[in-house]
A = this chain, B = another copy of it.
Amino acid sequence: MDPLDAAMKTCGADAFVHYATGEDADMRYLTRFVMHDSFVFFKRRRQRGTIIVPQMEAERASRESTTAVMTRTQAGLPDILKKEKDPWKAIALMISGQAGKTVLVSPAFPAVLLRALEEHTQVIVDDGTMEKVRAKKSPAEIRLMQDVQRKTERAMALGISLIRHATVRKGVLYHDGTPLTSERVRIAMHKQLMDDGCRAVETIISCGEDTAYPHIIGSGPLKPHEPIVIDTFPRDETTGYYADMTRTVSKGEPDARITEMYEAVREAQQVGVARIRAGVSGADPYTAVVDYFKDRGYESDTRGFIHNLGHGVGLQVHELPTIGPSGVALGAGSVVTVEPGLYYPGIGGVRLEDIGVVRARQFVDFTRFEETLIV
């Protein structure tokens, strides 16, 4: 049975309703229609989904959406607005007119619209049916994500190549006569991704002490003998699917503690990968990595290994499943990252991140990119 139909049947709902922009992952999955303003998706039980859009989007929606398309006028909004001036109450009336007496809404359904809808309709909040559906990728989705990953690796190769071929002057990397900054590496990678039909934002190119903070994106001149963390998560401009990968490099030999951390992180990645398969709890590979780090003298607290081992990737860069303490059984077909890292303020950080698919018997890595610290 269609998972939304099953969820509706369980709670006795007549329809499922979502309200979001087309950038919302559930909305994109349900409609494949990208619109920058929020719009209504509804699906009555055993029927096809429908979106309600402004007149000016109707033609584009009928070309691009995988759903049926209705204009706001067809859904009665102009008549409703003659009597109901509050726009949220008007949208709620429009929804209840289409969706029936008992409605299942998405977890992210906005509170203001929920309250307005409750005036007319019994409203049940879904506990994440679509998020769970999205966690299992179809073969077609996996191909799309492998394709994004190939382009991501091309960008990573470019970024590392700029660092590798840089010259060193007064403790700073130079390229083409000017300092090689985080920003220059980031923009070069983003432009190549653009040529490849992908969009990347906020690629991390952090250097030195900044690498001890996993999400500082980095700025200014890059330096030799320091860890440089490159973490990029581009998405295909057309399909919206993400890839995600991280490498840590150093131009010339870094502090011995960084080299040791790098070796530990590289082995930890293999420890994690070896534990991933369908049916295993997402907590299991995480705990294995924590234990491995502990054996090597690295803690997993406010320093050391301070984040989850991995996360699902798809139409969101972070989605289900979780490979961390709160993880539940991994399902076959989930695309996940495996990204151990070690972070020590005052020393620096190291992270290595691959992406691949959870299969019945093993993790199949999509990533085909070397792990080499010194470049």
Chain A 180-201: CB-based contact to B (< 8 A → 1; otherwise 0):
0000000100110011000101
A112 at the B interface (CB under 8 A)? yes
Question: Which residues in chain A, 33-56, are within 8 Å of chain B measured between CB atoms?
Answer: 34-37, 54-56
Chain A 98-127: CB-based contact to B (< 8 A → 1; otherwise 0):
000000011111111011000000010111
A111/B87 in contact, CB under 8 A: no
A158 at the B interface (CB under 8 A)? no
A318/B35 in contact, CB under 8 A: no
B108/A110 in contact, CB under 8 A: yes
B107/A213 in contact, CB under 8 A: no
Return chain B residues, CB-CB under 8 Å to A199: 201
In-complex Cβ contact of A213 among B59, B110, B213 (8 A)? B59
B111/A110 in contact, CB under 8 A: yes
Q: How many of these chains are in the complex?
A: 2
Expressed in whole angstroms, the Cα–Cα distance for A105 and B114 within the complex equals 13
Query: Contacts A194-B190, A215-B56, A317-B36 hold; do A125 and B109 have CB atoms under 8 A apart?
Result: no
A172 at the B interface (CB under 8 A)? no
B125/A112 in contact, CB under 8 A: yes
Question: Which residues in chain A, 268-297, are within 8 Å of chain B measured between CB atoms?
Answer: none
A112/B87 in contact, CB under 8 A: no
Expressed in whole angstroms, the Cα–Cα distance for A35 and B115 within the complex equals 28
In-complex Cβ contact of A111 among B36, B105, B216 (8 A)? B105
A110/B112 in contact, CB under 8 A: no
Chain A 197-209: CB-based contact to B (< 8 A → 1; otherwise 0):
0010110000000
Extra contacts besides A107-B110, A111-B114 (14): CB < 8 Å: A34-B202, A35-B215, A37-B318, A56-B214, A56-B215, A59-B213, A87-B326, A109-B110, A109-B111, A110-B110, A111-B111, A114-B114, A187-B195, A191-B194
Residues on A lying within 8 angstroms of B by beta carbon are 34-37, 54-57, 59-60, 63, 81, 87-88, 105-112, 114-115, 123, 125-128, 187, 190-191, 194-195, 199, 201-202, 213-216, 237, 302, 306-307, 317-318, 326, 343, 345
Top-7 shortest CB links A-B: A107-B112, A109-B111, A111-B125, A111-B114, A108-B110, A59-B213, A56-B307
